[in-house]
Amino acid sequence: MSHKDSFIADQRGAAAFEMPFVYFFMMLSLLFPLADIGIAGFHYISAWEALRAFGQSIQYDPPPDVTNASSWEATALAKADPNFPIANFQLVCGDTQTVCSATNTVSPKYYSFTTTVTLAPLLLKPVLCTSGNANPCTYTLPYSERFQ
């Protein structure tokens, strides 16, 4: 039997030869996209939990005067998570979702605020970053909670 025939008959090295190609395919097509989705999910959940934690921290500390809550607002914002800064903080009065003022002190009263989360996907950028913002991977999460 010639050497060529013995190599054809002995197929033990075929799996070892294919393994780098299979590994490369599996990493690029399955594991890296799953890692992108997992990381994006953790960032999104962290931002949402920061909003919720801030809402809970101020829920039982309502402003003494809803028409002039500027000094109370500064101390309330100091309780927020620095990784997800709170923006657009408002005291909303009534079901019409208008900002509280001297002429609008209707109940129910709500806190309303937002934060932003920025995602940085490696492979799934066309899928996860589709918004029309200046930075397409930045999402604004709104949150409101009733306090009275």
Specify the pTM. 0.73
| pLDDT of res. 16 | 72
| pLDDT of res. 44 | 92
| pLDDT of res. 75 | 84
| pLDDT of res. 48 | 94
- C-alpha to C-alpha distance for 100 and 69, rounded to whole angstroms: 10
CA distances from 129 to 17, 25, 46, 77, 85 (A): 38, 24, 18, 29, 21
Separation of CA 130 from chain center = 15
Kindly give the confidence (pLDDT) of every residue in the chain, 148 residues in length, as a single tens digit, with 9 standing for 90 and above: 566 666 666 666 566 778 888 888 888 888 888 888 898 899 999 999 999 999 888 887 777 777 777 778 888 888 888 899 998 888 888 877 788 877 877 777 888 899 999 888 887 888 777 766 566 788 889 998 887 7
- For the sheet with 87-93, list strands across it: 98-99, 87-93, 109-118, 138-146
| pLDDT of res. 7 | 60
Domain ranges of the chain: 3-146
Separation of CA 93 from chain center = 28
Cα within 13 Å of Cα(147), Cβ side:
21
- Per the structure block, which two tokens stand in for 80? 């927020």
Consecutive H or E run containing 89: strand 87-93
Q: What residues contact residue 25 under an 8 Å CB cut-off, 6+ apart?
A: none
Nearest to 148 by CA among 97, 107, 87: 107
